[in-house]
A and B are shown apart, each in its own frame.
Chain A
Amino acid sequence: MEYTTAEMMVVAAARALTSEDVCFVGIGAPSQACNLARLTHAPGITLIYESGTIGTRPDVLPLSIGDPELCATARCTVSVPEMFQYWLQGGRISVGFLGGAQIDRFANINSSVIGGYARPKVRLPGGGGAPEIAAHCRQTYVVMAQSRRSFVERVDFVTSFGYGEGGDHRERLGLRTLGPTLVITDLCIMKPDPATKELTVAALHPGVTVERVRASTGWAVRFADDLGTTAPPTERELAVLRDLQARTARAHGTAAA
């Protein structure tokens, strides 16, 4: 069955989730991945959106973090201060999803500015919940399309802290969570090196070469000794994902993604 690299990215992210996970979901690819997991191999997963909806089971993907569908299908909806104070800061979330305009070799993420902060070339939307999602979820998964522009040696601005300068930098800041343990792109899956915390390619998606990943990464990226290959999306994964996208497009009155 034919599939796109974007579909491979979402499917790979979905496979990383289990029924036991309590997920802080972001909009876009993370939302697709979390709901794909819920509708396939992880029916027991708890999805939380920062707007306050806990245990939501949307039939269509939300466009925003607080669409009506999320509240209507949630187990309960709490206020935003409660969401950040009790549920996120309180350590109740097992997996948080992050993305951004740039990520560096130690998985620090920039979603604030391209260029200088005072006079930016591009003013991005900003961090929103990300700085504390990066700190308080037991671990975070990053889902981002890969290119030299987005996978850079050093981010212009650290909005959300990954492994800082690497090594034990998180521990030195007093962080007790695992940080970004998985980076899923449209080309490959990266994991931090256990000691240095530098992002290292653990598996290539089918048909992707080492050269292509090198050409799409802004640092001299390393590959794991036991470099694997991601299993291609199954027919069921693709069918469920495409159904979800088609329902969403109908509901939002837009063309399917």
Chain B
Amino acid sequence: MPRFLSLSEAVAACVRDGMSIALEGFTHLIPFAAGHEIIRQGRRDLTLIRMTPDLIYDQLIGMGCARRLIFSWGGNPGVGSLHRLRDAVERGWPRPLELEEHSHAAMASAYHAGAAGLPCAIFRGYYGSDLVGNNPNIRFVTCPFTGEQLAAVPALRPDLAIIHAQRADREGNVLIEGIIGVQKEVVLASRQALVTVEEVVDDLRAPSPNSCILPHWTVDVIAEVPGGARPSYAHGYYGRDNAFYTAWDAISRDRETFLRWMEEHVLGAKGENRR
């Protein structure tokens, strides 16, 4: 059974400098509150893994928490670039960031392989792409049955998965609904899993026998953090704050404006009380 901790206890218990961590969420259920707590606790040298690093990864990178990023699309969806990510890659501020770049198909398959206990993922992909050659982890194998050349990438096995979900029951079973992304795969692929939830309830109220549920024995730590995915969203609880995603472009463009915003909204007292 997972341990039920406060957010700050949970992050202090699970996150160490130098770890590989996947804070996943495909647009939906992005664990912003947990990311902010990692920033407040001053973790360093992290290998951050995520298919779609967006604003919370921009913040972690801009605050100097990350050494390396494994990703497949790093932008502000529908808005443009991630300016802190760009600044780190183009100018090494606040520190250089190593990139391991994949396609979505590769990352999704690599999580799937990690969850399935396979050493690598095999798929049809990367045809003619210059990503091959710039990422030594993209290789090719020959199908033993047909002779076809297939792309291969190593399975993803993060030290720690962090996801946000709608709810957990008191035993620690976790329900995920809506756009479920790679939430299940990342938890099963990782050595440890920290799950923040909108609420802890007596009855999970799973709507279908086929609901996406992580049994309690697959999760290590649960923290109840209402609003923990804002400004992304939690299906059935609150919507996506698209106006904030749009506003982030101006906030993050300039180093000083970014640092002031982080000081006011994440590091300061307002940040710690943030729900």
Contact = CB atoms under 8 A, between A and B. Distances in A.
A127 B26 contact: no
B27 A51 contact: yes
A88 B126 CA distance: 14
Contact of A51 (B74, B79, B90, B181): B181
B108 interface: yes
Given A27-B78, A117-B134, A85 B27 contact: no
B125 interface: yes
B82 A125 contact: yes
Given A127-B129, A131-B126, A67 B105 contact: no
Contacts, number: 184
B270 interface: no
Interface string B106-125: 00110110000000000111
Contact of B180 (A64, A77, A164): A77
Contact of A112 (B130, B178, B239): B130
Contact of B78 (A64, A164, A169, A251): A64
Interface in B169-223: 178-182, 184-185, 212
A252 B246 contact: yes
A158 B104 contact: no
Contacts of B148: 174
Contacts of B240: 63-64, 67-68
Contacts of B78: 27-28, 62-64
Interface string B254-275: 0000000000000000000000
Contact of B27 (A66, A136, A252): A66
Contacts of B245: 63-64
Interface residues of A, number: 59
Contacts of B90: 119-123
B73 A161 contact: no
A133 to B, nearest CB: 9
Contact of A122 (B28, B52, B86, B149): B86
Given A51-B26, A161-B129, A77 B105 contact: no
A35 interface: no
Nearest to B245: A63
B103 A67 contact: no
B6 interface: no
B103 A81 contact: no
Nearest to B244: A253
A129 B104 contact: yes
Interface in B213-256: 233, 235, 239-240, 242-243, 245-246
B89 interface: yes
B31 to A, nearest CB: 15
B18 interface: no
A65 interface: yes
Contacts of A64: 27, 77-78, 240, 242, 245
A223 interface: no
Contacts of B182: 79-81
B242 to A, nearest CB: 4
Contacts of A193: none
A96 B241 CA distance: 28
Contacts of A175: 127
Contacts of B130: 112, 117, 157-159
A89 interface: yes
B162 interface: no
B235 A135 contact: no
Interface in A157-202: 157-161, 164, 169, 173-175
Contacts of A51: 26-28, 179, 181
Contacts of B111: 81
A63 B77 contact: yes
B32 interface: no
17 contacts: A51-B181, A64-B242, A68-B235, A77-B180, A84-B108, A89-B105, A117-B130, A122-B86, A126-B75, A127-B104, A127-B129, A128-B72, A128-B104, A129-B103, A131-B105, A134-B127, A159-B131
Given A52-B179, A80-B182, A132-B125, 13 more contacts: A28-B78, A51-B26, A51-B27, A89-B124, A89-B125, A120-B89, A123-B86, A124-B81, A126-B75, A132-B126, A173-B128, A174-B148, A253-B243
Interface of A: 27-28, 50-53, 62-68, 70-72, 77, 79-81, 83-85, 88-89, 108, 112, 117, 119-132, 134-136, 157-161, 164, 169, 173-175, 251-254
